[in-house]
Structure 1
Amino acid sequence: MDAAGSDVEDECDEYADQCQSGFITTQGGKLLCRKIIHLIHNNNVKSQVTKVLNECELRMYESVAFPAIGTGKAGQSPAKIADDMLDAIVEFTRKRSVQHLKKIKIVIFQTHMLKDFYESMKRTEDTDLPRTDSWMSVLKSFFWGKPQPTEKKKPVTLEKKVYLATFQICGESQEKVDEAESWITNLILKEQFENSISDDLIENFDENQIDALADLQRRKHVTIQLESKLSPPRIKISGVSRDVFFVSVEVQKMIQKIKATEEEQSKAELVYNLVEWRYAVCNNSFVAFDKLTNMQLEDAKIAKKAHFTVKINKNNYKVNLNTLQANDDQGNTINIQRVPKNEGKL
């Protein structure tokens, strides 16, 4: 309130008896925003967030920023607050009538709360019913804005593997030939198995994964079909049962690796919104680390590690997380900065 200025305080006093909806709206004052919505204390955080989102849509606001409501003097659990706030946002995004509100931010001042909100986002994605766009992608769109169009991926295809085997059956009679044919067919089918794996992440398979599938198809007695036009995309594996099982496990590993990479990128983005690590260059200026290194440095600090090794200009530097200095094997020293973001902002 101090940062907003006395005019906002005066407005609050003026509208104090007009808060039947559980909040009052004032001008932004000295803050870098058009309006401030002041909430009346209430332990039902989900309801409060819902009211604010509906008010923003009604007033045709395009963006809104929330603090982690209730985690300060109210002393509520950050994990519960994260679930309540994200539940409210997910329910709001499901409304077909949402037209104006494009971006929702949750500003987290305390770094230790980041894990609670990140885990809540993961649970939200895991428990949602399958849809064309997962609600995690919707949440990301609201938190960070819609992603910029990226270069369209080059379609990748998997060469179809067909091995033909010809049996010539001779017998004393047609009946004996039919019996032999039936026996061979049953023998083949007994060893054959088919398994299908459907997952949205299959759409993200690039040439590396396709090459790996082609290699598995060459080495094992299986045929792999990539059905990328289905929703969700599907990989169908058929062949000798033991090889189908082996290849299925390998495909699941590929999917899990992509999922882990995407989760790591999401976490790195979240951390970058909270704090930025930088290293010194010439002229006493500082350059930001890439987002992954930024996250790793912050994780090391939270874990109270004394040192962490990073790459700067392709050279390894050992960062002293207490003195914020980095040294390489030749004794060169580079100063490091840790710059928290959003400090002093509502």
Structure 2
Amino acid sequence: MASKLDIPLNGPSVNIVRRCGSALSDVLQSKFGCVATFDGVDFERGLGNAQQRGPPVTPEKRFTVTIRGGVQVSVWKADLTDFPVDAVVNAANEQLQHNGGLAQALSIAGGGKIQKDSDDHISRYGNLKTGDAIVLEAGSLPCKKIIHAVGPCLSVYHTKSDVSRAERLLVKAIESILDKVKENRLQSVAIPAISSGLFHYPLPDCANTIVTTVKRYYEGSRFSAHLPKEIFLVNNDEPTVKEMERACLQILTNSRTRGDAKTSTLTVQLGNVHLTLKKGNIEEQQTDVIVNTTSFDRNLSIGQISKALLRKAGNGMQKEILNAPLRQYIMTTKPYNLLCKEVYHTCCSDKWENAAQQTLYRSVLDCLRLAAAAKHKSIAFPAIGTGALRFGKKEVAQIMSDAVAHFAQMSQEKMEVHFVIFPSDNDTFKAFDGQMGYLQQKASHPDFTHAVDITMSSQPAFKSRDDFRGKRALPQQISLIGPSDETTREAERWLNGFLLRTSDTVVIRNNFIQHFGEKEHLQLSRLTKEGVSIEESFENGRAGITVKGNSTEEVVVAGLQVEAMLCSIQTEFVTEEENAMLWAVLTKDVSFERKTVDRSSPEFSERLSAFKKHGVLRILKVDKVENPTLKVLFDLKKNQLHCSSTQKMFQRIPAQFCGMVSHIGFHAEYAPPDEPAYGEGIYFAGTVEKAMEVWKEQKEEYLHFVEAEVLTGNSTPGKPGLILPPAVGTDPLVLHDSVSGGPDISVIFSGYQALPTYIITCKIV
């Protein structure tokens, strides 16, 4: 069952999250499967600088549309320093000194020619003006030209009027870029979010201005003029990419559509969230999740919504909710006779109680986060609070819409959200209809998008948008939602290890460091600056990176970027291994399941008896792994080795690799032993006791063991340094199947010789 945990931020941790929140979010998702959202943290400043600080990313197209004249506009999450296009745009200053942010990243990647050509241009023609753009050679960048464009620079504490005055200069800069594309007859150009980041231009406004300018420029062009084939809007940090995608959806397409008048349906697209307003009965919805609003005494016969759901679901739901754990404001039950997968029961306060509006807002937001963490794709809400809780209809519509907008800003997966209004309740439908229009038309307005989508710096507005500011601020915190209590606690422990660090050294142990190539080492060199050093090591079969520096904050930021690089490498590794598996068995996909075993089942009892012998371990959960592709490869290996029997063995692995072993099987990178005394292969232990000896590190709160069927076949004693089993005789091509380190340790050198069957999560008593 999904679990939620709030981690307060204070002191230096706030600035660390502000600087690398996107990378941190990606790492928490990759390592622990946790969805992270940030409350009370202003990401407006410095996001564009992520082009320099962010980890390498695999190019990913998020949006594409063809506008007038056949020009294609697309949004990409990618690294501009490695983007194959006719020209890339650099966010430059007037002196063309590339000392920070994207400019520095492009200058380093392009080599010394970038800065030299820039210096020569300034020496010959003088400084550029804001709004100017020039074309120079691209050095060693994978493009033909680099366009240096000077966008407006705002102060850190800019006002709305400052932004308004700067807008015309940003428009001029984008038009200058497109003029250069036309003059040089370029077929494609990659444009970042100029002036955001180091130049402090608000990100939502920046995205709107860039997209609007591109649209107007080509709509007003004569078709006899040169038109490029494609305009790429490229950034490598998630918040900026989402803003660009949002702006394109709203400005280049008609993302709000009216449905059939008979069904009274309205829809709005907010990033990955598709929001639908419709009339209907909440108990008849067929979404993955139905949301109910109930009283704190858990009596489902109180309230119209609860009554309707109870009648449809049956008394089983009433019995279950009486014992269901309350997490923040939500209890979860089975659907019984309802047509959904789960029911989320929210407990909200009467309007006149303290912080009631904030409770309603957080209830909606937490329901969305829980659904996302549980991999649900759709959720249906009634108009919460318009009945016995005595909220106004417009008030509820605004609060619920604001919560969805905030969630949409952070959501990386597609989600269908339904607001379901009782068919005869025309006043409530009208109130929500007004909010749908507001979301579409005003989503980019600073008083709305910045407050709701980026920081939620105050509780939701209740009378007018002007009331939004000046209310009590949300606490600065990271909200984690994961698939279980164990995962969120592990994520919290890891996170606090970074954010609460007081030393000036970070040590990262991960054998995927050995997969770093030229691109990753270039990224490491970019992280190295005055006062920060990065050193790689490999000792006793374990790879490590040590980050040292004079400033704890700089060391932590660099360490988090290294972790993000490792997650990217691991993602690429999984993709490559999956492709190899598909080719080997000629199947269409590699699908797998992890099913939690019932504690009363014989399967659970069998694992329990094996672990009871090791008195300090208590089993919390047993997941059964089912991966048909791995099973086929395992059986093929069994035939190849002429091995008729298998051994049940154990491997202890870090939490972050549980998903990988279920997906692509065993690899030596996951769990190198403390002492690789029998070779450089994949180690297994015959008993839990022996596994605790082979992998002695016990600092974690939770321990994860994989039970596997292992093909040891024709084995021989191992020794340090072996990368393959020794030859059986004099023929060097005939090898043993595995090596051993005594009766309870086996080492294999092909991951297909082991099949994961169960993942057992334990806690040290």
TM-score bucket (shorter structure)? 0.3 to 0.5
- Report the structure, 1 or 2, having the larger helix content: 1
TM-score normalised by structure 2 residue count:
0.20
TM-score normalised by structure 1 residue count:
0.40
Bigger relative contact order, structure 1 or 2 (CA pairs below 8 A, ≥6 apart): 2
